[in-house]
Amino acid sequence: MRIDMHAHYVPPRILEVLERDAAPYGVQVQHAEGGGRCLHFGAGVTLRPFHPHLLDLDARWRFMDGQRVDRQILSVWTDLSGYGLEPAAAARWHRLLNEALTEVVQRYPQRLAALASVPLQDPARAAEELAYGVRQCGAVGGVIGTNIEGQNLDAPALDEFWSAAVELQVPLFLHPVEPVLPARVSKYYLHALTYYLYDTTATVGAMLFSGVLDRFPDLQLILSHGGGFFPYHAGRFDIIYTNLAQTREHLAQPPSAYLQRFYYDTIVHHPTALQFLCTMVGSDRLLLGTDYPFPVADPDPLRLYAQAGFTDADIDAMAGENARVLFRLQGV
């Protein structure tokens, strides 16, 4: 069984609801100048137009069949997180996202599963929505952005949310979010090529040095895009831990000792990079992901595994078994 745990989908029903009555959510549908639709959030942010295949299931089945992927674990496009919304509106927004995604998954239970999104700007509401998504909607985990309106995920107030994830025994997928692109990375798709990796790395560092992983030893976290820069510069993190006393205040061990506390998708697009990642963290921490349907999507992840020279046992683990166990998937 091949399981893609990093794939994005936006149910069209969400746009239909907003076009009927957007007021409860603080989110409006707009028509982009170059064509297509986009969302405008009450905080003043207007997203890029939707990639057409984000809203399309038929193209998804063809892509999955071509990849030899049996099942996708869906998360919404993270830029839809709306962390700048007023908390009550944000809670209604994520309830709509999760219920709409659940409707789709329930129609295709053998091919799809879902991660619940949450209003992370309000940790209490985020904990409540994660519980609702898991217990009522059948979500197999949660998905959160790697920053909250430009702030890392090290705030003490988030402990309530981390505690909920531990109690529910579900993993959290940390995915970059940047609804407004900085000018420096607004061309050439540099936001995805560089800024997303920075975003993940910065929040991992903040979570480590603030002691989140020590306070919650059973917290299960998945890092997107091969972990950003963290696995490749763990030694750089360690030297700061050695040389700056302030970084040791809440961290029991050097940062590299926590490499295997995370799971990582394998979207690195180069066999040598994937070999290195496996050397650093172990094949049991790696999960197949594609980033469908964006331009950086890996069209043939199994070919990359073969090019990297992995054994059949390692390929079976990375391509499906690790995800099956981590997400406690039934019927696979």
Residue 101 lies inside a defined structural domain of this protein:
yes
Neighbouring C-beta atoms of residue 242, cutoff 10 Å: 11
- List, for residues 182-228, the tens digit of each pLDDT value: 899 999 999 999 999 999 999 999 999 999 999 999 999 999 999 99
pLDDT at 42: 84
Q: Is residue 86 part of a domain?
A: yes
In a 10 Å sphere around its CB, with 0-12 CB exposed, 13-18 middle and 19+ buried, how is residue 207 labelled?
buried
Q: Count of domains in the chain? A: 1
Per DSSP, the residues of 200-255 read HHHHHHHHHHTTHHHH-TT--EEESGGGTTTGGGHHHHHHHHHH-GGGGSS-SS-G
SS3 state of residue 191: helix
Would you say residue 132 has pLDDT above 70? yes
pLDDT tens digit string along 10-26?
A: 999 999 999 999 999 99
C-alpha–C-alpha distance, residues 303 and 305, integer Å = 5
Residue 246 lies in a domain: yes
Q: 331 pLDDT band (50/70/90 cuts)?
A: low
Q: Which residue segment(s) compose the domain that 199 sits in?
A: 3-11+52-326
The answer to the question of residue 37 being in a domain is: no
Task: Find all residues with CB under 8 Å of 245, minimum gap 6, and list them.
Answer: none
CATH number assigned to the domain comprising residue 140: 3.20.20.140
Residue 38 domain-assigned? no
CA dist 268 and 332 (Å) reads 26
Interior/surface letters 168-188, b for 16+ CB within 10 angstroms, e for the rest: bebbbbbbbbbbeeeeebeee
DSSP letters spanning 149-177 = TTB-TT-GGGHHHHHHHHHHT--EEEE--
Say if 275 falls within a structural domain. Answer: yes
Distance from the Cα of residue 219 to its chain's centroid: 15
Domain assignment present for residue 22? The answer is no
- What are 31-50's pLDDT values in tens digits? 887 778 999 998 678 998 99
Q: Which residue has the tokens 């700061």?
A: 240
The answer to whether position 23 is within a domain reads: no
